[in-house]
A = this chain, B = another copy of it.
Amino acid sequence: MNCALITVGDEILIGQVTDTNSVWISKRLSASGIRVGEMVTVSDDASRIRATLDRLMGNYELIIMTGGLGPTKDDITKQTLADYFGSRLITHPEALDRITHFFRVRGRNMLESNIRQADVPEGCEVLMNNQGTAPGMWFEKDGTILVSLPGVPYEMKGLMEDHVLPRLRKIVQKPLVMHKTIMTQGVPESYLAVLLKSWESGLPGCVKVAYLPSPGIVRLRLTLQDHCAEEAEQILKVEIDKLLDIIPEHIFGFDEISLEEALGALLREKQLTLATAESCTGGNIARLITSVPGSSDYFTGSVVAYHDRIKADNLQVDETLISRFGAVSREVVEQMASGVMEIFHTRTAIATSGIAGPSGGTGEKPVGTTWIAVAAGERVYSRKFLFGGSRNRIITQASCSAMQLLRRLVLDMI
């Protein structure tokens, strides 16, 4: 099945917003065996939308269109589609019920513009939006399926997962392509490639490998084609077992699990509790840990000790250590970890202290210098890192390294 994507929105054409919807949609379609042949972004302008539809309808089996379904005047996709299909807008009762309910539970009044979000072109199939108020629409004409979705990413994703992808999977007979992603932390891409060189050269020809780096984490994606599911799983299992032998300390999970989810699952399994004492990461580790539903079962809290006074007053760090070794030191970060563990009565802790930049670096401690301590019961492990890149990259890398160090300490892999 051949597909074209249409994004509607001036905000993308003027460079105000990066179109992240297209890459998300393409990835899912690709995994379902649907090939995206073209992506096009056009203005919120009826004549441009029509011209694009004229060109693509009939030439692609599937068109997915996002954007322009909001409640304000600049949103013209729905009326344009009604005109294009020679139809008119009618109020869809179930969509209106949903919208009414959406506002009732939030205790907010409905406006005329909200009610009009239940209007859809007569004759289309309506896809219920479980995340917001603008329903999706499914049209079929001239051998082309045209799907129109809101541009708000989480609403688009919800509609794709709830309706569009399941329907498409029934239509497309999927050729078997199996992916397995191995999540690694602690080794940059190029070093990982060196560590895995002989493993890679011994791979069967049918297995392709790709390195997908992001700050602090490298994903290793294995792809296998043209095998039956059982065979494919067996082949991938053999390779993953080899990886677990070569780099056990760097693998924290599979298939897009996050480090905070992996750490949370481990703490839950071992019935351990966690507190963090954060200086340079500024609350980012606590934020990541608590982004996982149910994290209150193992996470008690954090002290973000941005000022040195807080480290002394609220984390029991000896002030003479701060003046002697500096706040970015093994001595201070270890006391921060044991301090927060004692104050918050937890069995594990993470502490960070570093120079996130862009200023504040010295010759001895340049920007990126970060001390991380992790503690579990009586054991404390600390290590100095030198992270590169922007302030945000340094914070992200420090957060990932800290969570992985605690995993390794709990697993006796340090």
Contact = CB atoms under 8 A, between A and B. Distances in A.
Interface of A: 7, 10-20, 22-30, 35-44, 48, 55, 70-74, 102, 105-107, 111, 113-114, 131, 152, 154, 177, 179, 181, 189-191, 193-194, 200, 208-213, 219, 221, 223, 256, 276, 278, 281-287, 289-291, 293-296, 299-307, 309-310, 313-314, 343-345, 356-359, 366, 368, 386, 388-393, 395
A352 to B, nearest CB: 12
B314 A302 contact: no
Contacts of A219: 16
Tell which of A154, A219, A287 has the most Cβ of chain B within 10 Å. A287
A106 B12 contact: no
A291 B395 contact: yes
A291 B356 CA distance: 9
Contacts of A181: 16
Tell which of A154, A209, A306 has the most Cβ of chain B within 10 Å. A306
B286 A304 contact: yes
Contacts of A102: 388
Contacts of A289: 282
A285 B302 CA distance: 13
A166 to B, nearest CB: 18
Given A36-B14, A154-B393, A193 B72 contact: yes
B306 A303 contact: no
Contacts of A17: 23, 212
Q: How many copies does the complex hold?
A: 2
Nearest to A3: B13
Contact of A210 (B11, B37, B278, B344): B11
A124 B282 CA distance: 43
The 3 closest A-B pairs by CB, nearest first: A15-B27, A282-B290, A283-B286
B26 A193 contact: no
A22 B295 CA distance: 35
Contacts of A314: 301, 303, 314, 343-344
10 contacts: A7-B39, A10-B210, A12-B26, A39-B41, A105-B366, A106-B368, A106-B386, A111-B194, A291-B395, A301-B305
A307 B106 CA distance: 27
B27 A23 contact: no
Contacts of A291: 282, 391-392, 395
A208 B285 contact: no
Tell which of A13, A179, A343 has the most Cβ of chain B within 10 Å. A13
Contact of A283 (B11, B42, B304, B391): B304
Contacts of A310: 300-301, 344
B23 A15 contact: yes
Contact of A189 (B72, B106, B307): B72
Given A15-B25, A16-B256, 17 more contacts: A11-B210, A11-B221, A13-B35, A15-B24, A16-B221, A19-B19, A40-B41, A44-B210, A70-B213, A72-B210, A102-B388, A131-B389, A154-B389, A282-B287, A283-B286, A299-B306, A307-B344
